Structure 1
């Protein structure tokens, strides 16, 4: 265990809370930075924390130093506001100006944040360093064996995911019988699933393919699914889900698997092959 407290930069969802609970159970002190209009207030209930604006880099890093944090983990999805509404402090503005057009991609902006934290002497770790068991191994996770038609849709989805990921856009795509129904953009995976469901054709349902982008800064935005994602896919008529093995996290895995099995939906984890 590292010396010093663990700082958690908390986005949405339950993942930041899971990390805090695991760290505390292992005897580690934690401090949570919660972001206005991003973090669920329940995430910080009973935990040492501070609320910050997303663009307040200097104040955020100073607070983490002041409370003795030496390691930082970023967890939970962040809704991407416009740059004009971020409320950037001077340090944030300078860092983004140096990064140039890279900040317009999700990973580009998060990579800038990671570099700023490392410049300040923090060690930035990944979610899997705390919750290693959440990474999905290769294999069938729920449902029946994948048929040839599903295999073809998964291969198509991986190819599309790699192509758009090279431009730092999204981590998920919905494919039905070779037709790309939707790709993930700023709306996030669950909203993309709902959009794809409205475009679903007759016949075998769509398949969600979710994984990392080429060259992605995995410490900042590890692909994640959970029961809510599974339920959204079921409601939208999806027949299955293919996740990148050893790269994607499943939160509340037992609940997610049970929901998929009960609905007859498969979940499979596979290697997506070398990244370009």
Structure 2
């Protein structure tokens, strides 16, 4: 673990002026942070702005911009990773899956207004869980363990939060997400088209096809 000031200085020493952020954000306790002067500045900004996810992310962006960096959305550099509308895999959602996607998306949009999470798991019309501080992988595990074994298989749904800064923390999936879906007996994943990312796209789609998991872009 390095102090924030040392990280910033190292990046600047490499003449890096643009930063792209994508993937999982792991939470840690404040007591585990190494707070030099810049770290203390960032922590103060966070405490003033609030400790909900959106406030923290907006504050981190503001901090990096105050250090002279420009934050670039991942899709500006790799447009191919943006989720397109419709079916992206060989495996197709059946009518029951489409019904769950429709209902789950409506519920998740309502929940997302409260800055709770970007993901939800639904099974046969029943919401099994909403993403909280644990992240998507733990949500998949938690819901996979409580799903009804004789019902339709679970579906993961991921969308952007309303008014979210889309330069950072876009909902995304990758090969490990697909492996976890298969491990916990999920049918597939539905992602908000044009507002979600598929990391390592070719590998992710190939893994989904190999395991019989659908990936669907919600329009």
TM-score (norm 1): 0.72
Aligned positions, number: 218
Please name the residue that 1:15 is paired with: none
Measure how far apart 1:209 and its partner are: 0.2
TM-score of the superposition, structure 2-length normalised? 0.88
Q: Where does structure 1 lack aligned partners over 5 or more consecutive residues?
A: 1-35, 37-51, 272-276
d(CA) in 2 for partners of 1:106 and 1:176? 27
In structure 1, the residue matched to 2:58 is: 111
1:173 match: 120
How far apart, in 2, do the equivalents of 1:240 and 1:64 lie? 39
Alignment correspondent of 1:199: 146
What's the CA shift for 1:122? 1.6
8 Å CA contact 1:79, 1:186 repeated in 2: no
Question: What's the CA shift string for 1:94-120, capped at 9, x where partnerless?
Answer: 444344475422232121111011122
1:151 is the counterpart of 2:98: yes
CA contact 2:121–2:154 (8 Å) conserved in 1: yes
Q: 1: distance between equivalents of 2:49 and 2:120?
A: 22
CA contact (8 A) 1:127 1:222 kept: no
What are the ranges of 5 or more consecutive residues in structure 2 without an aligned counterpart? none
CA separation of 1:258/1:66 partners in 2, compared to 1, >3 Å: closer, same or farther? Answer: closer
Decide whether aligned partners of structure 1 residues 161 and 96 sit closer, same or farther in structure 2, where only a CA change above 3 A counts. farther
Give the structure 2 partner of residue 208 of structure 1. Answer: 156
Instruction: Say if 1:108 and 1:168, in contact at 8 Å, map to a contact too.
Output: no
Cα deviation, residue 69, structure 1: 1.6
